[in-house]
Structure 1
């Protein structure tokens, strides 16, 4: 499901990296979501930028896993259908932070997981053009 009712018409970011962020979030959600469930990709405007979120109805993440979920090379299945290299969420965090943004996770047992990526209006690494 796509929820873009309050999405901005445009925002400033690296198109390739944004695509990779969303691909990794959607792939991760598909891995953990129960068969025939709905994964939601949402986008909304914020006063200071834009926010993307991906929600799945999977088992949720245990609190002890949240401490390590953004570390590279920590593969785990934890109820997922496939095992990866353990890079998905660490790449997401790196790419979002390169834009000057932040990532947070809302999760709980039997509530699923929502990964939220907030991007500022203007990425911090961009310099204004000279006059």
Structure 2
């Protein structure tokens, strides 16, 4: 089976054309060698895929006939990705800046609420004395 088709079948890439593009860009290695998308893979080949700034490492156990369900992926590959790489992925998620930079456009709904909360005066006990 072709390596691009295999990566698509085991759901590392959403489409086969994306898998082919990754192979052409040098983000996929088989047994440490840069490969073309048409490279045949066999059981016990070691594949390294660079995706989302993480190097995923996997061992081919078998080749599926067609794209398979997510629950069946472990039948066809063994994931040997180091835990440090996966922890790096978690840190990347936390380090993303979810807010826009200062001065770039209108405030969002959340920003507006925060501004309103800042300027709203909270009642104090001094205001309660005026009722007597």
The answer to whether TM tops 0.5 is no
Q: Which has the higher contact order (CA 8 A, sep 6+)?
A: 1
What TM-score does the superposition give when structure 2 sets the normalisation length?
0.23
What TM-score does the superposition give when structure 1 sets the normalisation length?
0.23
Structure holding more strand per residue: 1
Structure holding more helix per residue: 2
